[in-house]
């Protein structure tokens, strides 16, 4: 990419911000070297990596790369069989520990927004899975090396033995020296009763005047010259022995470091791979954390020259106050000319497009809404004035034109050009003519381009030239403040007169100024003002429509929730009704059983039957029946149907409100909206308002049907009809067999089997079954009004 463009668009500031999110020196260097790419597949790969890292951060939290040390030089020394220092070995162990944490992070199952576990099979999965932590090697290093300046005693048996001997020798030597300085006969020769060390050997400070009387080796004297430090002759051998032991200790430490270095060298391939992979991951996660800081999204890249930035926010401005802009190029037009007052946001929009392109092609997410589109450019060229960047000095017309000449020499159809007031800094007529010629040439080449201007000629040029579109940065004349909103399709006004009047310039001066402007220019500016007002009204209408749409969606969601609540409430009411019905049926059965027993007893012994008792029993039964009928009437009054005729289908089990009976639908609604319902042997035509669908679970197997029949109160609760629509012959005969048993127990003389017409196979199978039953007196097809060929009437 053009280096001047990178500087003008302040790409370096983006790089600096990104570098702050990298943990290791290696990743920081990668961040500092990041540059836009031109291969769309490479760009997409980089974007996917950033996206997947961001998803992992959101699901699993941060991954620390603080332990990733720069061990590059150490690994090179191992290649030539060198020995590492304690610090270098600890750095290797730190890298291995980081690899272990990263591998665990990569293998962990993430959790999505709904709390469900989610496997991390993304573009980073391979990197994580190929890490080899070498836990044993990290353990050996930490076991042997406590810190940069301390080796553990247990690092080797030889080191442990040497250090034990050093400790014993030290104790003997100190005891001997302590004995000397405690000798009363010699104390007057000592400057202080202390043991000190000089040149690595233990000494005693002796007064200057006694140095010849005290036997030993002089190693040093005090700064004042009053004392000399003498190694007593009695401890010379022990000091020598201690020195030898210290040398042995150093030799043992060298052995340990050499052994550990050899172990590291043996795993050099894996460690080198871990080192480079962790550096890449640190770099990728730095991009992800950077994207998270400004709520960035992955742009959709294409090679069709289409740009569609949705609510883009300049990344170097305060994200809480920056005004988002929508920028489109490459579909209806390739060149966008932005007009409007100074400090209105024109150059910010220009830089936003340029910086988004550089960031996106570098693999960075952009601060815009999801679904924003960018295209891949071979190069980005920019000519932007000094007022928008404090790093630049004041540019003259010549310097601007020199830059434009460079751009025109190197631009291709696959370039992006950004011009801030082309043709400025010279005569307005000539400048406008030059600008139009330059932009016209770029438009003919098909170059994607954005330019800002104050020239009215360029506004007219954009309105009359195919492939070029006007845009403006909105300005609130009432407050003399820009809104920074980019409006595409409408050219902007400079608002010089309005601003001057607001600031207090007399009206007669402004009126005189109007007289100096060509009438065509005034008409054009008035047209622009009208268009701008219309555009604002359209934008307000769009916002209102969007709000209404959102409210409609919200109301629809509320209605759905309400419908679910009503459905649940309906199910609860039906369940309660069934429970009440079962209770009533059980109560009726108990009373009926008791009455039957009494009447059977009276029938067996007519002489003992008491007419008053029998009448009392009959009265009791009549009272109970009246109670049930009254309850049923009240229930019917309360019960209402909300069904439409289209809600029913053949075979549905329904409750008939007016008859307080249960039946099944045998045919769909006629022209009057009435449905045919089979109620026992009666085939009635009823309106949908008189029917309530009874939601019964589908009979899945024979045993379930048998059990459900048994659970309804046994024989005395039997219905005079049974519905076997939709069953196979085997299923139907099993159900009918149980039903007929219950019908016999209930002393029913006639029952109806509803099987439907269909192909006749089910009817034939049922008839074959009935012919074999001894308790079946006769059976026949239904007559007109009974269901005809769809039912079989059985006499028991």
**Where are any strands of DSSP class E within 259-306?**
300-302
The values of phi and psi at residue 203, to 5°, are -135, 170
Instruction: Say what percent of the chain tops pLDDT 70.
Output: 85
Rg (CA), the chain: 49
Residue written as token pair 């909206």 = 673
User: C-alpha distances in angstroms, 194 versus 191, 218, 371?
Assistant: 9, 16, 81
- DSSP code at position 366: B
Q: What is the pLDDT of residue 621?
A: 74
Q: What is the pLDDT of residue 700?
A: 39
Alpha-helical (H) ranges within 21-85 are: 25-32, 40-60, 72-79
Confidence of residue 714 (pLDDT cuts 50, 70, 90): very low
- Per-residue pLDDT of 329-384, as tens digits, reads 999 999 999 987 766 678 889 999 999 999 999 999 999 999 999 999 999 999 98
User: C-alpha distances in angstroms, 244 versus 165, 169, 217, 319?
Assistant: 11, 11, 18, 68
Number of CB atoms found within 10 A of residue 213's CB: 10
Across 392-418, b (16+ Cβ under 10 Å) vs e yields eeebeeeebbebbeebeeebeebbbbb
Confidence of residue 694 (pLDDT cuts 50, 70, 90): confident
- Per-residue pLDDT of 86-135, as tens digits, reads 999 999 999 999 999 999 998 876 555 555 555 567 899 999 999 999 99
The answer to whether the CB of 150 falls within 8 A of the CB of 237 is no
- Per-residue pLDDT of 311-328, as tens digits, reads 999 999 888 888 899 999
Q: What is the pLDDT of residue 707?
A: 41
Q: What is the pLDDT of residue 364?
A: 96
Mean pLDDT score of the chain:
83
CA distance 749 to 240: 126
CA distance 202 to 223: 18
- Per-residue pLDDT of 233-264, as tens digits, reads 888 888 888 889 989 999 999 999 999 999 99
pLDDT at 650 over 50: yes
Confidence of residue 701 (pLDDT cuts 50, 70, 90): very low
CA distance 588 to 590: 5
Q: What is the pLDDT of residue 698?
A: 46
**Structure tokens belonging to residue 113:** 């927004």
Confidence of residue 396 (pLDDT cuts 50, 70, 90): low
Rounded to 10 degrees, the C-alpha dihedral 19/21/23/28 comes to -10
Rounded to an integer, the average pLDDT of 489-513 is: 73
Angle (CA) 283-287-290 rounded to 5° is: 135
pLDDT at 712 over 60: no
pLDDT at 284 over 80: yes
Least confident of 530-544, 695-709, 727-741: 695-709
Q: Which residues contact 481 (CB under 8 A, 6 or more apart)?
A: 475
Residue written as token pair 């998270």 = 292
Phi/psi region, residue 659 (left: phi>0; alpha: psi -120 to 50; beta: rest), is alpha
Q: What is the pLDDT of residue 392?
A: 42
- Per-residue pLDDT of 38-71, as tens digits, reads 999 999 999 999 999 999 999 888 999 999 999 9
- Could you report how far apart the first and last alpha carbons of the chain are, in Å? 98
CA distance 767 to 247: 112
Query: Which pTM was predicted?
Result: 0.62
The neighbouring-strand residues paired with 221 are 228
Number of CB atoms found within 10 A of residue 304's CB: 9
For residue 359, which of 325, 316, 388, 327 has the smallest C-alpha distance?
316
For residue 335, which of 468, 465, 434, 470 has the smallest C-alpha distance?
468
CA distance 69 to 91: 6
* Continuous segment of H or E residues that includes residue 300: strand 300-302
Instruction: Say what percent of the chain tops pLDDT 90.
Output: 38
Q: What is the pLDDT of residue 152?
A: 93
CA distance 365 to 472: 27
- Per-residue pLDDT of 605-643, as tens digits, reads 666 656 677 677 777 777 777 676 666 555 555 566 778
In 3-state terms, what secondary structure has residue 54?
helix
């Amino acid at each position: 990419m053009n280096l001047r463009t990178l500087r003008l668009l302040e790409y370096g500031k983006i790089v600096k911000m990104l570098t702050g999110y990298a943990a290791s020196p290696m990743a920081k260097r990668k961040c500092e070297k990041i540059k836009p790419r031109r291969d769309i597949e490479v760009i997409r790969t980089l974007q996917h990596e950033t996206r997947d890292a961001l998803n992992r951060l959101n699901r699993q939290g941060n991954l620390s790369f603080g332990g990733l040390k720069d061990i590059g030089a150490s690994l090179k020394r191992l290649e030539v069989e060198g020995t590492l220092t304690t610090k270098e070995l600890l750095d290797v162990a730190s890298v291995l520990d980081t690899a272990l944490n990263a591998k665990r992070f990569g293998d962990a199952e993430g959790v999505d927004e709904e709390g469900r576990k989610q496997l991390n099979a993304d573009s980073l999965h391979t990197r994580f899975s190929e890490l080899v932590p070498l836990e044993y090697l990290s353990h050996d290093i930490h076991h042997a090396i406590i810190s940069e300046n301390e080796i553990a005693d247990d690092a080797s048996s030889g080191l442990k033995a040497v250090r034990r001997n050093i400790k014993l020798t030290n104790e003997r030597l100190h005891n001997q020296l302590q004995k000397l300085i405690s000798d009363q006969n010699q104390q007057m020769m000592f400057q202080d009763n202390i043991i000190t060390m000089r040149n690595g050997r233990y000494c005693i400070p002796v007064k200057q005047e006694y140095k010849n009387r005290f036997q030993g080796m002089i190693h040093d004297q005090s700064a004042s010259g009053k004392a000399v430090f003498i190694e007593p002759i009695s401890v010379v051998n022990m000091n020598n022995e201690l020195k030898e032991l210290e040398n042995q200790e150093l030799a043992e430490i060298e052995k340990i470091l050499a052994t550990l270095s050899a172990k590291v060298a043996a795993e050099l391939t894996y460690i080198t791979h871990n080192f480079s992979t962790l550096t890449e991951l640190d770099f990728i996660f730095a991009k992800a954390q950077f994207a998270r800081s400004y709520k960035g999204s992955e742009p959709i890249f294409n090679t069709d020259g289409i740009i569609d930035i949705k609510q883009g926010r300049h990344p170097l401005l305060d994200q809480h106050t920056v005004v988002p802009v929508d920028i489109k190029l490459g579909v209806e037009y390739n060149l966008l000319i932005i007009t409007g007052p100074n400090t209105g946001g024109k150059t910010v929009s220009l830089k936003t497009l340029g910086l988004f392109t550089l960031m996106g092609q570098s693999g960075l997410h952009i601060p815009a809404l999801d679904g924003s589109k960018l295209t891949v450019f071979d190069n980005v060229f920019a000519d932007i004035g000094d007022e928008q960047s404090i790093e630049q000095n004041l540019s003259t017309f010549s310097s601007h034109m020199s830059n434009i000449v460079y751009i025109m020499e190197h631009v291709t159809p696959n370039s992006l050009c950004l011009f801030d007031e082309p043709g400025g800094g010279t005569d307005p007529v000539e400048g406008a003519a030059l600008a139009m010629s330059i932009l016209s040439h770029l438009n003919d080449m098909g170059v994607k381009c954005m330019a800002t201007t104050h020239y009215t000629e360029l506004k007219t040029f954009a309105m009359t030239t195919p492939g070029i579109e006007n845009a403006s940065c909105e300005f609130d004349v009432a407050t003399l403040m820009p809104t920074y909103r980019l409006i595409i399709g409408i050219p902007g006004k400079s608002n010089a007169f309005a601003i001057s009047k607001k600031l207090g310039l007399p009206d007669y001066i402004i009126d005189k100024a109007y007289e100096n402007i060509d009438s065509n220019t005034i008409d054009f500016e008035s047209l622009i003002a009208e268009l701008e007002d219309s555009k604002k009204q359209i934008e307000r209408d769009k916002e209102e429509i969007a709000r209404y749409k959102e409210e409609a969606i919200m109301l629809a969601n509320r209605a759905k929730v309400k419908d679910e609540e009503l459905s649940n409430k309906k199910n609860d009411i039906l369940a309660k009704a069934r429970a009440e019905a079962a209770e009533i049926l059980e109560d009726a059965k108990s009373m009926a059983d008791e009455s039957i027993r009494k009447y059977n007893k009276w029938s067996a012994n007519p002489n003992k039957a008491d007419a008053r008792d029998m009448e009392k029993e009959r009265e009791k039964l009549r009272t109970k029946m009246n109670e049930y009928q009254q309850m049923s009437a009240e229930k019917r009054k309360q019960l209402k149907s909300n069904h439409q005729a289209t809600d029913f289908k053949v075979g549905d089990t329904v409750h008939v409100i007016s008859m307080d009976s249960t039946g099944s639908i045998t045919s769909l609604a006629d022209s009057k909206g009435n449905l045919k319902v089979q109620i026992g042997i009666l085939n009635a035509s009823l309106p949908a308002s008189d029917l309530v669908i009874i939601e019964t679970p589908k009979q899945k197997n024979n045993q379930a049907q048998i059990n459900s029949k048994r659970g309804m109160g046994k024989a005395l609760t039997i219905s005079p009809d049974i519905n076997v629509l939709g069953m196979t012959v085997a299923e139907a005969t099993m159900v009918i067999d149980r039903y007929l048993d219950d019908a016999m127990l209930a002393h029913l003389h006639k029952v109806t089997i509803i099987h439907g017409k269909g192909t006749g196979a089910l009817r034939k199978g049922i008839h074959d079954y009935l012919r074999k039953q001894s308790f079946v007196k006769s059976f026949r097809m239904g007559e007109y009004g009974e269901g005809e060929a769809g039912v079989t009437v059985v006499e028991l």
